[in-house]
Structure 1
């Protein structure tokens, strides 16, 4: 369905005439000499994706990458509020030039705090241009019709003021294809010199493959995916059009390609005669009657690469007819594992027929494996193919190939699949280097084109292979680096659209991040102050859409899924907020009550930001030492909190519902409902429980002043010094600096996590106080444990280094 919709949209756009006369879109400001146009709706997310991409970091030390990074370094100072275009070109001296285009806003480029920034205004009769120098890079900028344009080339800025600035019609149509709200989309124009070849086959590197390419690119930590379309305007000069008027067939060459080869290429067609006519037109050859019938019943041709050796594979839909076409080539020269090997007297036939897709002209031997006719230049290569086919050790049998198939179509006109060695070679072709990028983990990468009417879909995947974790193993799924150090402990929140979990965290500059469970930064938002406690979620409109809600020392925030403030929030407070926000939903009907603690006082608000007048509690006897909580016992509601000397148990209106019959000096630990009793600890290490009638029970646990307590409704967890007690079962840990234990009840199982911040170790225990297999693991904060995706494995998130978040999976 996605392909159908994309196809329909593409056809409509490319068959509509261009009637634009005014420059109202960003694409109208693209320099004519730009051959690559990048579009992003989230500059911060793009930067994070690049910084966290394992693949891009592997090539980041190359001259080309460094040059591009240095040239575009000033880009990250921009704070756009909408889409931004990054245009790349090369001048007559082959020097890299760029232009940046986005809607102007007052906060877009703030220069006050930038070191080593120099600015000069160039005023002319009908235009004003700003010349800026930052970090030794000079660029020019202007604002036209509320559009900000900056460029390393003054000529590109001057051209904007000329009357002759009509947009390339084909570029404009192509631009309409790329997605909205994407972290990265890319358009490649004809003649771009930034991406010269994507193929192993050298003969394809020197042929014009297509003209315009538009693709949405997804960059995550361990994979890069792209999905888009391509169109060649001139039907006779672009290789992609050799598939015109043919129907893509299911690619099957992977079923015969040995897993120890360097990869393969497959091209398909439903009618060989049409395909051959198109190919001859491309090669400027006269279409003559074929002298051979060998290809009449072929629907797929493949090339298997093995170092310098190649094998040509024909996939036949009529094996008997194809064998008959080889009757004159029955010279048996040997056999291997029961498969006959024959000589072939026309080794150049394949290049004469299929150039430039096939360049190997030494295939003088062949064998037949079911519907596959395999031609090669060496007996050893044929033997390797036969052995792997019989042993079922081909590409199609490997997990890493199965993984990338999820991102590809079963049928395509052209498909190339490569191993790390070949991927390394392709990168070196484009960067004009001879380097080893250490890509051993990228077992399989793929590119495919699926020809439709007058255009083709393009899919690609570069994916790092993950070894499937053994039972109970703990694998690091993501390591997400932020620009600056982390302030709060990372936690999970629910995505109401996917029903999966995402990550929220705050950095020391008070930026709040929402990060997908694939490691993509969805948005970054600066807030006023550090978040108190955890971020909670509410459904403020009662429509299934969730918002984030929390307090900082002087603000109450409600933020929607896109990072926007929900009116009338944030609410500003003059007096300091001293405890995390408490959110109560008494009757589970989404009539939320928001409790803000300020020293001795508690203020109650509704989701309109209005004070709830029916809540009459005025002030505690002293500073409130914990976040207020709501419990329900039977049909009665209880609001509980405490000071150092008093436990408050109120009803909904703020009046005392239960008064403890004896007084205590309380610790700073939270209050829990344990065995239907209000439970906390005293400052001298006793367990204090209060029932619904006010009866108080004290149990001496012999705890030190720096103890921790957490409970569920029936499970008690206590940590003191180096002893962890879970449901009265105690285990001793090494002495260290430990976080408070956290108790999780998931799938009818109890898990207790505790982190030694001094030794950087996360421990996870079961209900019997037994350490789970393969723990401890590295981490520097308390964890949150949950099932965040669609599989059955549990994940947990922790702070890693000062500026990184680690996501683990328990297999």
Structure 2
């Protein structure tokens, strides 16, 4: 059974000289029969990206996916560190054998939570291997030279105890893959998984090239890949372009926007291409006796339903017209462009096979420097009308989006719309299965010949409708492995200076997600994150780390989700407030404050207790996260218990002692109008100045109230009443989150979320709701400009296991 296996397999898991190799790398353990190798350095991130890829999830609806998914998901007990190779091969009975290769580490196998797991050491053919049974699925594994190898085939495992010869070309293309992509994929010769990626039936992947290796980036609405393909002999189609120089592809400028797609191939010298074609087609001599192609640098085919038009892009229009002097019998005119008869219907198929097979041409016309040949007047008319109306494919936003990922000049370029992409999928899937690809209006692949190999780029992208001004549009809806635990927030990427998303699920997996929806990594934590995650530059080199607390750990993670030594710090007693990070003088000499019940401990970034901080203990359990404020040249550290407000100096000594005591709420402490401001248990505003004077103001807040401020703006939420700067808005009755203030581009925004009605509200500083709000959401939001455009974005919890990124246009 032929299958469109590469996308399926991604959904699931996610010259030629022989060279004797030493078994020192994972590559040395790749089974000889493997046809596809998928490499990743972060298997959890790969699985997450696959899970959130709209295209791959559509492909996953096939029966083949469901059958193979069960096998691979049963290997979820593997916890690899470093690179992982997933190797796939086709068996004689049409079944799939897969193997996974990675370095053996102490914590590689995590089987404690698997109820149906069985393990047995056996000896087969005098070779010790391990049989693993997971949910009635049998696997075979072995550790060979510190490399862990597991497969569905015991023969594959047994054969791997013997060193094998490696194809030098295979090694070269493997090492051409990168390290920072979602995954890398290597396709070996004569693989049976992916038959075709082309419109033309005469083109298939195994005859087009020998080896192909590329890095793939997966986001929610786009798959982008780039790499190389290599073939050293004339039996592969890619070598038709040997000794030619790619030219700029221009067929898109004459292709109607309502077409099904086009193919374009370019060259700098037709005679060279002609000779290469003759060699490929095993012709003894060149039979083309026409000057028509002498001044042509690009040939293209436009597809519309079952019809085709062949386009020649001429660098010398007069010379091309002269070559067509014998074809000047005018048969019609449309919009002042003449149609002429063309008698040599087989010319293009005979000259350019297998790239062109259309042989029913009987007319042509000239449009600017393009000469268009077909057998249908209505197709010519459509091409002319769209060219004159400037409604060609090149003018569409979906083509421009795809083109941004491609090179301007390519030896071979194919661009297809939704229906043609569907047809290409059908070539690779025998089973009848409806796959919805709505919105995939411009998917492309190109090959750029370069000496003995070619660069390959491709994009499969889903296009969104252009957002209306003042609208709020959903950009991403990202699914996690399980339910969302806490509020998603933005953090800065110090490399791009843009923002990314960090969030945790109920299994305590922490995710870092790009602003394009790519899951960059996942990390299992020992408990839920308390409060917000802070960012620090502990090495003072511009590289940011994530710092936060869980109930018994203080974590500092680097850009890749790795622990930064000496963290995590482990605590026997529970941490009861979020981690507070202070940078008193903005010199990156950070202080980390850890709250445990009534105690506050201060650490430096070396994980050492700061001995100069002398605060011992509060009178009772601390109710608020310690805050740092600066007024004038003095620093203040503030937190509170039920009956006391503590305002300390840097070393933990009392700097301000309030002259009155109150029974305080659990609301945070803010610096508002240069006073330490919070609320008491009755909902009254309590403000303490730097001399300890206390003022009290009643706002008639309920027991269940919330407070937040900036230095000049005070916001309260009491039941369904939201008050911003003394202006109160009556919202629908519901269950509201704590309001939050954002100050962006000299403008204040205030947000609150009705958690019962699933509505996110956004107001300006005058208590006026922002246009097109409320929108759907299930948590407090984080609001910022996270990319290079001028629009603001915000992130919130969506369904139980998803987060939503919106854009305010």
**What is the match of residue 154 of structure 1?**
154
**5 Å matches for 1:592-607?**
592-607=590-605
Could you tell me how far 1:675 is from its partner in structure 2?
A: 1.1
In structure 1, the residue matched to 2:127 is 127
Unaligned regions of 5+ residues in structure 1, if any?
A: 1-13
Q: TM-score, normalised by structure 1?
A: 0.96
Return the match for 2:516 from 500, 508, 518: 518
The DSSP-based 3-state class of the residue aligned with 2:208 is coil
Q: Which residue of 2 aligns with 1:773?
A: 771
What is the correspondence of 1:114-513 to structure 2 with a 5 Å cutoff? 114-124=114-124, 126-162=126-162, 165-205=164-204, 208-234=207-233, 236-288=234-286, 290-513=288-511
User: What's the secondary structure of 2:45's corresponding residue?
Assistant: helix
DSSP-derived class of the 2:530 partner: coil
Contact 1:639 1:649 in 2 (8 A): yes
What residue is the counterpart of 2:42 in the other structure?
Answer: 42
3-state DSSP of counterpart to 1:586: coil
1:5 counterpart residue number: none
Can you list the C-alpha shifts for 1:291-310, whole angstroms capped at 9, x where unaligned?
Answer: 11111110000000011110
Contact 1:232 1:238 in 2 (8 A): yes
Which digits, 9 at most, give the CA deviation of each residue in 1:377-407, with x for residues without a partner? 1111111111011011110010110111110
Separation in structure 1 between the aligned mates of residue 202 and residue 582 of structure 2, nearest angstrom:
68
What does the per-residue CA deviation read over 1:464-487, in whole Å, with 9 as the maximum and x for residues that have no partner?
Answer: 001121112111111111111121
Q: Are 1:207 and 1:239, in contact at CA under 8 Å, matched by a contact in 2?
A: no
The answer as to whether partners of 2:61 and 2:435 remain within 8 angstroms in 1 is no
1:326 deviation in Å? 0.5
Residue equivalent to 2:66 = 66
**CA distance, structure 1, for counterparts of residue 291 and residue 540 of structure 2:** 69
- Structure 1 CA distance for aligned equivalents of residues 79 and 54 of structure 2: 26
Q: Give the SS at the match of 1:249.
A: coil
1:752 shift after superposition: 0.6
Aligned equivalents of 1:453, 1:267: Cα separation in 2: 17
Per-residue displacement from partner, 1:423-444 (whole Å, max 9, x unpaired)?
0000000113454422120110
Q: Residues of 1 paired with 2:31 and 2:678: CA distance?
A: 68
Matching residue of 1:799: 797
CA separation in 1, counterparts of 2:205 and 2:755?
57
Secondary structure at the counterpart of residue 654 of structure 1: coil
Q: How big is each residue's C-alpha offset from its partner over 1:44-74, in whole Å with a ceiling of 9 and x where there is no partner?
A: 0111111111011112111233333233223
Tell me which residue corresponds to 1:10. none
Label 1:684 to 1:219 Cα distance change in 2 as closer, same or farther (>3 A): same
Mapped to 2, the partners of 1:21 and 1:214 lie a distance apart of 20
Correspondence for 2:699: 701
Correspondence list, 1:551-570, <5 A? 551-570=549-568
Greater CA deviation, 435-444 or 50-59? 435-444
Structure 1 partner of 2:758: 760
RMSD: 1.5
Q: How far apart, CA to CA, are the structure 1 residues paired with 2:773 and 2:27?
A: 53
Q: Which residue of 2 aligns with 1:105?
A: 105
Pairing 1:93–2:93 present: yes
540, 543, 548: which is aligned to 1:542? 540
Q: Distance in 2 between matches of 1:206 and 1:85?
A: 22
Q: How many residues align?
A: 795
For residue 535 of structure 1, give the secondary structure of its aligned residue in structure 2: strand
Distance 2:291 2:418 in 1: 37
For 1:417 and 1:684, locate their aligned partners in 2 and report how far apart those are by CA, in whole Å. Answer: 66
The offset of 1:240, in angstroms, is 0.3
Counterparts of 1:288 and 1:626 in 2: how far apart (Å)? 85
Answering whether residue 545 of structure 2 is matched by residue 575 of structure 1, we say no
User: Is the 8 Å Cα contact of residues 262 and 421 (structure 1) preserved in structure 2?
Assistant: yes
CA distance 1:612–1:288, change in 2 (3 Å): closer
Could you say which residue in structure 2 is the equivalent of 1:32? 32
The equivalent of 1:681 in structure 2 is 679
Distance 2:251 2:19 in 1: 46
Question: Does the Cα contact within 8 Å between 2:684 and 2:696 map onto a contact in 1?
Answer: yes
C-alpha displacement of 1:757: 0.8
- Contact residue 274 and residue 286 of structure 2 kept, 8 A: no
Does the CA contact (< 8 Å) of 1:32 and 1:168 recur in 2? no
Which runs of 5 or more structure 2 residues have no equivalent in the other structure?
1-14
Q: Aligned partners of 2:223, 2:380: CA distance in 1, in Å? A: 34
Alpha-carbon distance in structure 1 between the residues aligned to 2:605 and 2:534? 14
Change in Cα spacing, 1:271 to 1:403, as seen in structure 2 (3 Å) is same
Whether the aligned pair in 1 keeps the contact of 2:19 and 2:165 (CA below 8 Å) is no
- SS of equivalent to 1:548: strand
Q: C-alpha offsets along residues 581-610 of structure 1, whole Å, 9 cap, x if unaligned?
A: 111111111111111112222111111122
Report the CA distance shift for 1:434/1:292 in structure 2 as closer, same or farther (over 3 A): farther
Contact 2:266 2:297 in 1 (8 A): yes
Identify the residue that residue 741 of structure 1 maps to in structure 2: 739
> Deviation of residue 280 (structure 1)?
0.8
1:242 aligned counterpart, secondary structure? helix
In the other structure, the counterpart of 1:7 is none
Partners of 2:563 and 2:118 in 1: how far apart?
35
Deviates most, 680-689 or 112-121: 112-121
C-alpha separation in 1, matches of 2:205 and 2:787: 44
In 2: Cα distance, 1:233 partner to 1:69 partner: 36
Which whole-Å CA distance do the structure 1 matches of 2:432 and 2:266 have between them?
33
Specify the alignment match of 1:621 in structure 2: 619
